[in-house]
Amino acid sequence: MGIQREFDSMIVPTKGEIDAPSSSRKNLCLSVVEPDIKDETSFQELDMILTQYLETLSKRKKYHIGTTFKGAIDDLDFVIQTLENCGYSNDRYYIHCDAALCGLILPFIRHAKKITFKKPIGSISISSHKFLGCPMPCGIQITRKSYVSSLSKIEYINSRDATISGSRNGLTPIFLWYCLSTKGHARLQQDSKICIENARYLKDRLLEAGISAMLNEFSITVVFERPYVHKFIRRWNLCYLRGMAHVVVMPGITREIIDSFFKDLMQERNKWYQYAKALPPCLADDFGSQNCMCSDNKMHN
């Protein structure tokens, strides 16, 4: 989530913000709220910044439904309430819900807060090539009709220009339609349930083995200590950042694959730290002390 001001021409992320993409943010100064351990927005900080810049903040706001690295999901209701508490009426802000990965998971999870246009959001975007599994990058953005109606009408196509580039690939909507119609509501619900269960299974196995790991609520992104040897990272095609790496447990990731990965990790890890020449990283600041299994953290606890 970002609080954006319109009088600067550079992007200045604060320490720890790893999920704000730098592309397509031109002529904006991005003042990012420092995330907490779960990588969610710190709402106390949000309240402070909103109050401090009540007259100068722009009308834009981004709400994450699954941040890129840790998979955290911001509390939309709390964001809206904080804006209202700081004196912002609905016409003074715009909330975009970035649901690239989790947009097709949350609707099928019991107790998860619903993302709906009954709440004062402006738009939501979902990537079709991620959880849904379309064979090429594509996605969809849904917004309110009032915003679309303000777009200019192009005379030679006798239609409004509702695309970013002025053109659209006709094949990707067919892929999207095919994936949705093939899976249907029941299969999407089943995939969501299985992926969340498998993510919890992997996280539990890692913690039980003494490996630092964390998993945010309703997320399928398991974050754990970065493997010591880069060869292992390449072998399993892991994404990593500082002392962390993550596994996104997608529908194609079975328990057998998880067990194979875990077995390989344990075998290699025993070699890396066998003679105590190297030690696993301390991730208490990133994961919270309860999820950090390093020797220093165990000693203090």
Between 244 and 8, the more confident residue is 244
Between 4 and 94, the more confident residue is 94
Query: Degrees (nearest 5) of the Cα angle 296, 247, 237?
Result: 105
| Domain range list for the chain | 2-168, 192-300
Rounded alpha-carbon distances, angstroms, from residue 91 to 31, 60, 254, 261, 301: 21, 11, 46, 49, 49
Query: What does CATH list as the number for 192-300?
Result: 3.90.1150.10
Between 273 and 54, the more confident residue is 273
CATH class of segment(s) 2-168:
alpha beta
- The HSE-up count of residue 224 (CA atoms within 13 Å, CB side) is 27
Q: How high is the pLDDT of residue 70?
A: 87
Instruction: State mean pLDDT over 190-195.
Output: 94
Judge whether residue 14 has pLDDT over 70.
no
Give residue-wise pLDDT tens across range 70-113: 888 888 888 888 888 888 888 888 888 888 888 889 889 888 88
Catalytic residue among 125, 219, 289, 295: 219
Q: How high is the pLDDT of residue 15?
A: 35
Q: How high is the pLDDT of residue 167?
A: 67
Give residue-wise pLDDT tens across range 149-180: 776 677 776 777 666 666 677 888 899 899 99
Q: Is residue 237 a contact partner of residue 187, using CB atoms and an 8 Å limit?
A: no
Q: How far apart are CA 48 and CA 36, in angstroms?
A: 15
Query: Is residue 219 annotated as a catalytic residue, yes or no?
Result: yes
Query: Degrees (nearest 5) of the Cα angle 104, 252, 208?
Result: 95
Q: How high is the pLDDT of residue 111?
A: 85
Question: pLDDT above 90 covers what percent of the chain?
Answer: 31
85: burial class by Cβ within 10 Å (0-12, 13-18, 19+)? Answer: exposed
Q: How far apart are CA 286 and CA 35, in angstroms?
A: 10
Rounded alpha-carbon distances, angstroms, from residue 105 to 85, 267, 268: 30, 33, 33
Looking at this protein, which amino acid is placed at residue 45?
Answer: E
